[in-house]
Amino acid sequence: MNVFLLSTHGLRDNERRISGNISSSDLTLSQLLTLHQRRRAAHQATRESRSSRAANWRPKPCPWIRGLWLKASTMAGSNKMTINLVVLGRTQTGKSAAGNSLLGSDDFESRLSPSSVTTFCSLGHSCHISGITRRNGCELALRVRVLDTPGFPHSSLSKERVREMVRSALAQHFREEGLHLALLVLRADLPLCPDENEHTVQFIQELLGPTWKDFTAVLLTHADKAKEAGFSEEAYLHSVSSTLLSLLSSVQHKYVFLDNQKSKIKEERAIVLRKLLNFIRQNNYQVLLFKHNKE
Ligand SMILES: Nc1nc2c(ncn2[C@@H]2O[C@H](COP(=O)(O)OP(=O)(O)O)[C@@H](O)[C@H]2O)c(=O)[nH]1
Ligand SMILES: [Mg+2]
Protein backbone atom coordinates (compact mmCIF):
# COMPACT_ATOMS: atom_id res chain seq x y z
CA MET A 1 0.00 0.00 0.00
CA ASN A 2 2.96 2.33 0.67
CA VAL A 3 3.65 2.29 -3.06
CA PHE A 4 0.88 4.82 -3.54
CA LEU A 5 2.63 7.17 -1.18
CA LEU A 6 5.73 6.95 -3.37
CA SER A 7 4.11 8.23 -6.55
CA THR A 8 5.87 10.90 -8.66
CA HIS A 9 3.21 13.37 -7.58
CA GLY A 10 4.86 16.15 -5.58
CA LEU A 11 8.40 15.44 -6.85
CA ARG A 12 10.47 18.52 -7.63
CA ASP A 13 11.52 19.39 -11.18
CA ASN A 14 14.96 17.81 -10.88
CA GLU A 15 13.40 14.64 -9.54
CA ARG A 16 10.96 14.60 -12.45
CA ARG A 17 13.97 14.93 -14.72
CA ILE A 18 15.43 11.83 -13.10
CA SER A 19 12.20 9.97 -13.64
CA GLY A 20 11.95 11.33 -17.23
CA ASN A 21 8.54 11.26 -18.78
CA ILE A 22 7.58 7.97 -17.34
CA SER A 23 4.44 7.95 -15.31
CA SER A 24 4.33 6.48 -11.83
CA SER A 25 2.57 3.46 -13.15
CA ASP A 26 5.64 2.78 -15.42
CA LEU A 27 8.08 2.80 -12.48
CA THR A 28 9.12 -0.28 -10.62
CA LEU A 29 8.92 -0.30 -6.88
CA SER A 30 12.74 -0.09 -6.59
CA GLN A 31 12.85 2.93 -8.95
CA LEU A 32 10.21 4.68 -6.89
CA LEU A 33 12.15 3.88 -3.72
CA THR A 34 15.36 5.33 -5.23
CA LEU A 35 13.51 8.50 -6.21
CA HIS A 36 12.04 8.76 -2.78
CA GLN A 37 15.44 8.29 -1.09
CA ARG A 38 17.00 10.98 -3.29
CA ARG A 39 14.17 13.29 -2.50
CA ARG A 40 14.59 12.74 1.24
CA ALA A 41 18.35 13.29 0.99
CA ALA A 42 17.83 16.55 -0.93
CA HIS A 43 15.23 17.67 1.60
CA GLN A 44 17.55 16.86 4.51
CA ALA A 45 20.45 18.77 2.87
CA THR A 46 18.22 21.85 2.42
CA ARG A 47 17.13 21.69 6.07
CA GLU A 48 20.71 21.36 7.29
CA SER A 49 21.90 24.24 5.17
CA ARG A 50 18.99 26.38 6.43
CA SER A 51 19.70 25.59 10.07
CA SER A 52 23.41 26.22 9.67
CA ARG A 53 22.60 29.56 8.03
CA ALA A 54 20.29 30.37 10.96
CA ALA A 55 22.97 29.42 13.51
CA ASN A 56 25.54 31.56 11.77
CA TRP A 57 23.17 34.52 11.31
CA ARG A 58 24.39 37.72 12.86
CA PRO A 59 22.60 41.08 12.66
CA LYS A 60 24.18 43.42 10.18
CA PRO A 61 26.10 46.25 11.81
CA CYS A 62 23.70 49.15 12.10
CA PRO A 63 23.46 52.45 13.94
CA TRP A 64 22.90 52.79 17.65
CA ILE A 65 19.24 53.16 17.31
CA ARG A 66 17.55 50.27 15.66
CA GLY A 67 14.52 52.35 14.87
CA LEU A 68 12.21 49.51 15.84
CA TRP A 69 9.10 50.29 17.78
CA LEU A 70 7.60 47.46 19.74
CA LYS A 71 4.64 47.27 22.01
CA ALA A 72 6.08 46.77 25.47
CA SER A 73 5.87 43.08 26.18
CA THR A 74 5.90 43.77 29.89
CA MET A 75 2.44 45.25 29.56
CA ALA A 76 0.55 42.26 28.26
CA GLY A 77 -1.22 39.70 30.41
CA SER A 78 0.22 40.78 33.73
CA ASN A 79 -0.91 42.94 36.61
CA LYS A 80 2.49 44.61 36.66
CA MET A 81 3.80 47.35 34.44
CA THR A 82 7.27 48.83 34.15
CA ILE A 83 8.02 52.18 32.57
CA ASN A 84 11.52 53.08 31.48
CA LEU A 85 12.54 56.74 31.59
CA VAL A 86 15.68 58.81 31.10
CA VAL A 87 16.27 62.37 32.30
CA LEU A 88 18.22 64.64 29.95
CA GLY A 89 19.12 68.30 30.04
CA ARG A 90 21.50 70.97 31.29
CA THR A 91 23.44 70.83 34.52
CA GLN A 92 21.55 72.10 37.60
CA THR A 93 18.13 71.92 36.02
CA GLY A 94 17.02 69.32 38.58
CA LYS A 95 17.44 66.07 36.59
CA SER A 96 18.69 64.05 39.54
CA ALA A 97 16.08 65.61 41.82
CA ALA A 98 13.38 64.74 39.27
CA GLY A 99 14.69 61.16 39.09
CA ASN A 100 14.42 60.93 42.87
CA SER A 101 10.90 62.39 42.81
CA LEU A 102 9.76 59.81 40.26
CA LEU A 103 11.35 56.94 42.13
CA GLY A 104 10.28 58.21 45.54
CA SER A 105 13.85 57.77 46.72
CA ASP A 106 17.20 59.48 47.19
CA ASP A 107 19.08 57.27 44.74
CA PHE A 108 20.66 60.13 42.83
CA GLU A 109 22.94 62.79 44.24
CA SER A 110 21.23 66.14 43.86
CA ARG A 111 22.47 69.42 45.27
CA LEU A 112 23.16 73.01 44.50
CA SER A 113 26.67 73.40 43.15
CA PRO A 114 28.64 75.81 40.96
CA SER A 115 29.91 72.78 39.01
CA SER A 116 28.17 69.72 37.59
CA VAL A 117 27.35 67.19 40.32
CA THR A 118 26.41 64.12 38.24
CA THR A 119 29.39 62.75 36.33
CA PHE A 120 28.13 59.30 35.26
CA CYS A 121 24.88 57.61 34.30
CA SER A 122 23.06 55.51 36.84
CA LEU A 123 19.84 53.59 36.85
CA GLY A 124 17.40 53.63 39.72
CA HIS A 125 14.17 51.75 40.10
CA SER A 126 11.16 52.05 42.34
CA CYS A 127 9.31 49.26 44.06
CA HIS A 128 5.89 48.33 42.68
CA ILE A 129 3.56 51.27 43.29
CA SER A 130 -0.15 50.71 43.61
CA GLY A 131 -2.98 53.20 43.20
CA ILE A 132 -1.56 54.83 40.06
CA THR A 133 -3.26 53.05 37.20
CA ARG A 134 -5.65 50.25 36.27
CA ARG A 135 -6.12 48.00 33.25
CA ASN A 136 -9.46 46.38 32.39
CA GLY A 137 -10.71 47.40 35.80
CA CYS A 138 -7.79 45.70 37.60
CA GLU A 139 -5.21 47.50 39.66
CA LEU A 140 -1.75 47.53 38.08
CA ALA A 141 1.42 47.62 40.14
CA LEU A 142 3.64 50.20 38.47
CA ARG A 143 7.42 50.00 38.56
CA VAL A 144 9.44 52.99 37.43
CA ARG A 145 13.00 52.80 36.14
CA VAL A 146 14.87 56.08 35.71
CA LEU A 147 18.26 56.61 34.10
CA ASP A 148 19.99 59.68 35.56
CA THR A 149 22.56 61.30 33.28
CA PRO A 150 25.29 63.94 33.48
CA GLY A 151 24.18 67.35 32.25
CA PHE A 152 24.77 68.71 28.83
CA PRO A 153 26.76 70.96 28.63
CA HIS A 154 28.86 69.74 31.55
CA SER A 155 31.45 71.58 33.64
CA SER A 156 34.12 68.86 33.33
CA LEU A 157 33.03 66.50 30.53
CA SER A 158 33.06 67.25 26.81
CA LYS A 159 29.85 67.10 24.79
CA GLU A 160 31.16 63.97 23.01
CA ARG A 161 31.97 62.24 26.29
CA VAL A 162 28.52 62.93 27.75
CA ARG A 163 26.87 61.74 24.54
CA GLU A 164 28.88 58.52 24.49
CA MET A 165 28.17 57.84 28.16
CA VAL A 166 24.45 58.35 27.72
CA ARG A 167 24.34 56.29 24.53
CA SER A 168 26.15 53.44 26.14
CA ALA A 169 23.92 53.56 29.25
CA LEU A 170 20.76 53.61 27.10
CA ALA A 171 22.02 50.56 25.23
CA GLN A 172 23.00 48.81 28.45
CA HIS A 173 19.78 49.40 30.38
CA PHE A 174 17.08 49.66 27.73
CA ARG A 175 18.33 47.21 25.14
CA GLU A 176 15.73 44.59 25.89
CA GLU A 177 12.73 46.39 27.34
CA GLY A 178 13.26 49.64 25.44
CA LEU A 179 12.76 53.23 26.51
CA HIS A 180 9.24 54.61 26.92
CA LEU A 181 9.99 58.26 27.43
CA ALA A 182 12.92 60.68 27.57
CA LEU A 183 12.28 63.58 29.91
CA LEU A 184 13.88 66.80 28.77
CA VAL A 185 14.37 68.66 32.03
CA LEU A 186 14.11 72.47 31.88
CA ARG A 187 13.79 74.99 34.69
CA ALA A 188 10.40 76.67 34.72
CA ASP A 189 11.91 79.74 36.38
CA LEU A 190 14.46 80.40 33.62
CA PRO A 191 13.75 81.42 30.04
CA LEU A 192 14.58 78.99 27.24
CA CYS A 193 16.64 80.82 24.62
CA PRO A 194 16.97 79.75 20.97
CA ASP A 195 20.67 78.75 21.10
CA GLU A 196 20.25 76.59 24.18
CA ASN A 197 17.17 74.98 22.70
CA GLU A 198 18.97 74.23 19.45
CA HIS A 199 21.85 72.50 21.24
CA THR A 200 19.55 70.52 23.49
CA VAL A 201 17.31 69.37 20.67
CA GLN A 202 20.32 68.37 18.61
CA PHE A 203 21.69 66.40 21.56
CA ILE A 204 18.39 64.54 22.06
CA GLN A 205 18.02 63.93 18.34
CA GLU A 206 21.50 62.41 18.19
CA LEU A 207 20.60 60.10 21.08
CA LEU A 208 17.06 59.10 20.17
CA GLY A 209 17.04 59.37 16.40
CA PRO A 210 14.54 60.86 13.98
CA THR A 211 11.42 59.98 15.99
CA TRP A 212 12.68 61.68 19.15
CA LYS A 213 9.57 63.86 19.34
CA ASP A 214 7.31 60.84 19.92
CA PHE A 215 9.49 59.71 22.80
CA THR A 216 10.21 63.04 24.47
CA ALA A 217 8.28 64.96 27.11
CA VAL A 218 9.35 68.23 28.74
CA LEU A 219 9.67 68.28 32.52
CA LEU A 220 9.48 71.81 33.90
CA THR A 221 11.16 71.71 37.31
CA HIS A 222 11.21 74.56 39.85
CA ALA A 223 7.46 74.92 39.37
CA ASP A 224 7.38 76.15 42.98
CA LYS A 225 9.42 79.20 41.98
CA ALA A 226 7.13 80.00 39.04
CA LYS A 227 4.19 79.67 41.41
CA GLU A 228 5.83 81.91 44.00
CA ALA A 229 6.27 84.54 41.30
CA GLY A 230 2.50 84.45 40.83
CA PHE A 231 2.21 82.31 37.71
CA SER A 232 -0.57 79.80 37.36
CA GLU A 233 0.24 77.11 34.76
CA GLU A 234 -2.00 78.88 32.26
CA ALA A 235 -0.50 82.32 32.91
CA TYR A 236 2.97 80.80 32.70
CA LEU A 237 2.31 79.33 29.26
CA HIS A 238 1.03 82.71 28.08
CA SER A 239 4.28 84.37 29.14
CA VAL A 240 6.93 81.86 28.06
CA SER A 241 9.37 82.42 25.23
CA SER A 242 8.27 81.49 21.72
CA THR A 243 11.21 79.03 21.74
CA LEU A 244 9.67 77.02 24.59
CA LEU A 245 6.20 77.25 23.02
CA SER A 246 7.46 75.85 19.75
CA LEU A 247 9.40 73.09 21.55
CA LEU A 248 6.24 72.11 23.47
CA SER A 249 4.30 72.10 20.25
CA SER A 250 6.89 69.90 18.52
CA VAL A 251 6.62 67.27 21.29
CA GLN A 252 2.81 67.31 20.94
CA HIS A 253 2.36 69.32 24.16
CA LYS A 254 3.74 66.59 26.35
CA TYR A 255 4.90 68.58 29.37
CA VAL A 256 4.62 68.31 33.14
CA PHE A 257 5.27 70.91 35.83
CA LEU A 258 7.27 69.53 38.70
CA ASP A 259 8.12 70.88 42.12
CA ASN A 260 10.88 68.58 43.25
CA GLN A 261 10.56 69.87 46.81
CA LYS A 262 7.04 68.51 47.02
CA SER A 263 6.79 65.65 44.59
CA LYS A 264 8.03 62.97 46.91
CA ILE A 265 4.66 63.40 48.59
CA LYS A 266 2.65 60.37 47.52
CA GLU A 267 -0.26 62.28 45.93
CA GLU A 268 1.98 64.72 44.04
CA ARG A 269 4.07 61.88 42.70
CA ALA A 270 0.98 59.95 41.64
CA ILE A 271 -0.25 62.98 39.63
CA VAL A 272 3.06 63.25 37.76
CA LEU A 273 3.29 59.50 37.11
CA ARG A 274 -0.28 59.42 35.76
CA LYS A 275 0.57 62.22 33.34
CA LEU A 276 3.65 60.37 32.13
CA LEU A 277 1.64 57.17 31.73
CA ASN A 278 -0.85 59.10 29.67
CA PHE A 279 1.91 60.23 27.29
CA ILE A 280 3.12 56.64 27.00
CA ARG A 281 -0.43 55.48 26.28
CA GLN A 282 -0.84 58.21 23.62
CA ASN A 283 2.23 56.74 21.95
CA ASN A 284 0.59 53.27 22.01
CA TYR A 285 3.07 51.97 24.60
CA GLN A 286 5.76 51.95 21.97
CA VAL A 287 9.36 51.74 23.07
CA LEU A 288 12.60 52.87 21.56
CA LEU A 289 15.21 50.12 21.31
CA PHE A 290 18.93 50.65 21.45
CA LYS A 291 21.92 48.61 20.38
CA HIS A 292 25.52 48.58 21.43
CA ASN A 293 27.84 50.22 18.93
CA LYS A 294 29.85 47.02 18.50
CA GLU A 295 26.85 44.91 17.47
N1 LIG B 1 13.13 74.98 44.41
C2 LIG B 1 13.43 73.94 43.68
N3 LIG B 1 14.70 73.49 43.62
C4 LIG B 1 14.97 72.42 42.85
C5 LIG B 1 13.97 71.77 42.08
N6 LIG B 1 14.54 70.76 41.42
C7 LIG B 1 15.84 70.77 41.74
N8 LIG B 1 16.11 71.77 42.62
C9 LIG B 1 17.41 72.11 43.19
O10 LIG B 1 18.32 72.38 42.13
C11 LIG B 1 19.64 71.97 42.48
C12 LIG B 1 20.24 71.09 41.38
O13 LIG B 1 19.51 69.91 41.31
P14 LIG B 1 20.13 68.59 40.66
O15 LIG B 1 19.09 67.55 40.78
O16 LIG B 1 21.46 68.28 41.28
O17 LIG B 1 20.33 69.07 39.16
P18 LIG B 1 21.02 68.26 37.95
O19 LIG B 1 22.39 68.79 37.82
O20 LIG B 1 20.21 68.60 36.75
O21 LIG B 1 20.97 66.82 38.27
C22 LIG B 1 19.51 71.26 43.82
O23 LIG B 1 19.89 72.16 44.84
C24 LIG B 1 18.04 70.94 43.92
O25 LIG B 1 17.58 70.89 45.26
C26 LIG B 1 12.62 72.26 42.15
O27 LIG B 1 11.69 71.77 41.53
N28 LIG B 1 12.43 73.35 42.95
MG1 LIG C 1 22.39 65.41 38.42
Residue nearest to atom 7 of ligand 1 (CA): 94
Counting from 1 in the atom list of ligand 1, the atom nearest the Cα of 223 is 27
Measured CA to CA, the distance from residue 46 to residue 54 in angstroms comes to 12
Q: Which of 41-50, 108-117, 136-145, 187-196 has the lowest mean pLDDT?
A: 41-50
Q: Residue 148 Cα, ligand 2 centroid: separation in angstroms? A: 7
The dihedral formed by the CA atoms of 154, 157, 160 and 161, expressed in degrees to the nearest 10: -130
Q: Residue 30 Cα, ligand 1 centroid: separation in angstroms? A: 86
What are the structural domains, with CATH classification, of the chain?
Answer: 2-56 (no CATH), 65-290 (3.40.50.300)
pLDDT at 96: 97
Q: Which amino acid is at 88?
A: L
Q: How confident is the model at residue 4 (pLDDT cuts 50, 70, 90)?
A: very low
* 180-230 per-position pLDDT tens digit: 999 999 999 999 999 999 999 999 999 999 999 999 999 999 999 999 999
* 9-32 per-position pLDDT tens digit: 333 444 443 333 444 444 554 554
* 243-294 per-position pLDDT tens digit: 999 999 999 999 999 999 987 788 889 999 999 999 999 999 999 998 766 5
Q: What are phi and psi of 269, to 5 degrees?
A: -65, -40
Measured CA to CA, the distance from residue 181 to residue 184 in angstroms comes to 9
pLDDT at 24: 44
pLDDT at 51: 53
* 27-51 per-position pLDDT tens digit: 554 554 455 566 666 656 555 555 5
Answer yes or no: is pLDDT of 61 > 60.
Answer: no
pLDDT at 138: 85
Cβ 117 under 6 angstroms from ligand 1: yes
